[in-house]
Structure 1
């Protein structure tokens, strides 16, 4: 089932001030924060459609009421239009107390003043949150949210094609992966890998793996960093693998849906989210038994490829009059018990490596988990939102590289537009 992660969606229109309604302390407890100290109160929590099962919500609500004496009202929100709806809600007098927020959106909301400081919560319960997963909850050195759940790309492969090529084990290094794909091209009639030229989230992962950044600071502003050696190295890796594919160089993974291409049975592998197997199975149910998964191999067997981490954080509204109660809710929700149950039920990466055992039996999630600690996101700056709007300059950059320009030439081609978006002009 497709996980509709909000993390990658642009929020260019979101940068309006939402700080006016913020309270000073948010202390509504009357001095009594013990069990039953919040009796009679109701906390409003916005979660996105598909993020948390009804049974999980019911169990959290029961534990919350037992611990605090208060009730929680979950309000399920639709993905379409959520950015504007949340922006508006945070500017009003009665915002949701707690809400789910895309991880790459968090800095933009934090900059506008809409999120409460959760540094004390981090100190109390977040010592072992996976650093790479928690990074998006921090803005300008302050903890403005808490990491909730995540997902990243894996290699989905056709077992039958790999067997025809005589490959008996899945690769654990990037070089071995490339060699296996070459073998598929030599020994079978299958396309070794379906990799469209603009699968830019895979590219972001490669940049992360190289230790690179897509932007850099120039004085008091952010500008393109596409001309850096690290980004260039990521582009060359992308180009090397894409050369094994017949996919168009000027399309992304959704045009056409790469799962549907894979469903035809004549592709050795593709790089995508685990739920994309469902797209393939819907198009061709007979392929289900042939689908396997493995972690995207990196430079060594001990270091998987860098991956883009898409997911959601949980935040507390600065304008909430129930901030203490909201933090009690987060302590329960993010506890090992309920974080683990969500991971097991939805097959998502939990916020602690110690909880990844809950993914046992979910092949796609088990393949994704090892790379989580080596992952990252698009730049965690409020100015990033406009960059992703179509036509995305990073997609243009990739296509230019694949069509023969050097990474430096491709970077120069898109630099003006890239910087214009970063400056929000």
Structure 2
């Protein structure tokens, strides 16, 4: 499913590469402006190939065209969206409505039509910083995700667990209860898929209540030290594996099968974003179990008793600079974000602030978990975290260093947590020092 590749990483990956090719603007006639007549033909490019295949997009098009009969919408699903868009945006032909790919913020105006002043959207929409530059808004997120843990409520209840963990110590105790009292794998790492191991990184900032966590990390010479976000995130994984509370052979994990396993009570928990909840619920129902068994909890950490969950937008939808029907394209974005049932069905955090949280996250409200957004990086530091990671040769958004972490924890590689964290700190610290000048 196309969704998986962007779910958690999109919350924090703010680095951008320069787009080559054209930088011209579209036509200047009145019908080609955001506030012009809502009419014409528009092409919507989407990474959600699954929604095209299952007919969801057909329904959306019919509903939108019923409201705006002077607009005709064509949907084009792009399988390898991120790569394909890098090529398409070197031309003037990349659709009318797009999920904004990786573009440097100072290049937004070369490829995207400005939607208005960011300040004018702040009372209505969440997740604005990722598609804003110099006070101008260029995109609106099509829903958002919360970071945390997907779990099977029935498994946890059968293990005798009555309250959800808010510390790593409680987490390990609970996983041990699952191991001792049920037949389920307490925590499934999904090691083999790779990208799944990166999902917990989306909790950066939520552990310490630091909305500037990406910059804090980028400037910390020893971030794998006790008391930091990344230390807590990676320790949770390491200590769970080292205690024998994960699958027996991580080399044979299977992402698609894991949905069925957690849905049917053979897995207790997986560290994933809230985007995964709807998929696990569907897998439960498809295999004779109850969708109600699937729940979502905050990452087991707290600050003075208060838990936090980092939320962030998925792809931002923008209007092509070269669209001949910009008003229609902008109307489609506003409709899909604010009037379609997308976020409700997908269990996502609504971009529109006035809309209620999805059912999967109402437990957050009941538990008093605060939702927090990460602040945009200060001017000049937008790419600092990624630059530091590249310099340190640590794939911060990838699986390699985390797979090694698992290998060490399970005894398949030399070292221990202290030695590996010291190694990471040495590399990171050298990178931070070299970039100071």
TM-score of the aligned structures, taking structure 1 as reference length = 0.70
Give the structure 1 partner of residue 130 of structure 2.
136
Q: Does 1:43 align with 2:46?
A: no
Cα distance in 1, alignment partners of residues 39 and 108 from structure 2: 32
Structure 1 residues 5 and 217: alpha-carbon distance in aligned structure 2, compared to 1, 3 A threshold = closer
Residue 58 in 1 paired to residue 62 in 2?
Answer: yes
Of 123, 128, 146, the residue aligned with 2:140 is 146
How far apart are residue 355 of structure 1 and its match?
A: 0.9
1:19-418 mapped onto 2 (5 Å cutoff):
19-23=22-26, 27-29=28-30, 38=37, 41-48=40-47, 49-51=49-51, 53-65=57-69, 70-80=70-80, 82-101=81-100, 105-108=101-104, 111=107, 114-116=110-112, 118=114, 120=116, 122-130=118-126, 133-139=127-133, 142-167=136-161, 169-171=162-164, 173-174=166-167, 176-188=170-182, 190-195=184-189, 199-209=196-206, 210=208, 211=210, 212-213=213-214, 227=224, 229-244=228-243, 245-247=245-247, 254=254, 257-262=257-262, 265-272=265-272, 273-277=276-280, 281=284, 285-288=287-290, 291-297=293-299, 298-299=301-302, 303-307=306-310, 309=312, 311-335=314-338, 337-338=339-340, 341-356=341-356, 359-360=358-359, 364=360, 366=362, 373-374=371-372, 381=383, 384=386, 392-395=399-402, 398-399=405-406, 402=409, 404-406=416-418, 408-412=421-425, 415=428
Name the CA distance, whole Å, in 2 between partners of 1:114 and 1:382.
23
Q: CA 1:371–1:381 in 2, change beyond 3 Å: closer, same or farther? A: farther
Which ranges of structure 1 fall in alignment gaps of 5 or more residues? none
Q: CA deviation at 1:413?
A: 6.9
Segments of 5+ residues of structure 2 without an aligned counterpart are 410-414
Deviation at 1:77, TM superposition (A): 1.3
Instruction: Decide whether aligned partners of structure 1 residues 302 and 254 sit closer, same or farther in structure 2, where only a CA change above 3 A counts.
Output: farther
- Label 1:392 to 1:382 Cα distance change in 2 as closer, same or farther (>3 A): farther
Task: Provide the aligned C-alpha RMSD in A.
Answer: 4.7
Give, in whole Å, the separation in 1 of the partners of 2:173 and 2:17.
45
- 3-state secondary structure, aligned to 1:151: strand
- Alpha-carbon separation, structure 2, partners of 1:286 and 1:30: 53
Measure the CA separation in 2 of the matches of 1:195 and 1:324: 45
Q: 1:314 Cα shift?
A: 0.4
**Partner-residue secondary structure (3-state), 2:30:** coil
139-148 vs 391-400, greater mean Cα deviation: 391-400
Report Cα offsets for 1:82-103 as digits up to 9, x if no partner.
23432333232343122123xx
Distance 1:234 1:254 in 2: 22
Indicate the SS of the match to 2:187.
Answer: coil
Separation in structure 2 between the aligned mates of residue 114 and residue 330 of structure 1, nearest angstrom: 20
Of residues 290-299 and 368-377 in structure 1, the stretch that sits farther from structure 2 once superposed is: 368-377
Q: Deviations over 1:227-268 (max 9, x none)?
A: 574422332333334444233797697568533554674433
Cα pair 2:179 2:185 within 8 Å, conserved: yes
Looking at structure 1, the residues matched to 369 and 28 of structure 2 have their Cα atoms a distance apart, in angstroms, of: 39
Task: Indicate how the Cα distance of structure 1 residues 4 and 187 shifts in structure 2: closer, same or farther if over 3 A, else same.
Answer: closer
CA contact (8 A) 2:118 2:136 kept: no
Please report how far the alpha carbon of residue 196 of structure 1 lies from its aligned counterpart in structure 2 after TM superposition: 5.2
Superposed CA offset, 1:398-422 (max 9, x none): 4477451436424157659999xx9
In 1, the alpha carbon distance for the partners of 2:430 and 2:248 equals 24
Q: 1:113 to 1:413 in 2, by over 3 A?
A: farther
Contact 2:34 2:330 in 1 (8 A): no
Say how many residue pairs are matched.
393
Describe the SS at the equivalent of 1:268: strand
Deviates more, 1:389-398 or 1:86-95: 389-398
* 1:182 CA drift (Å): 3.4
CA drift at 1:73: 1.8
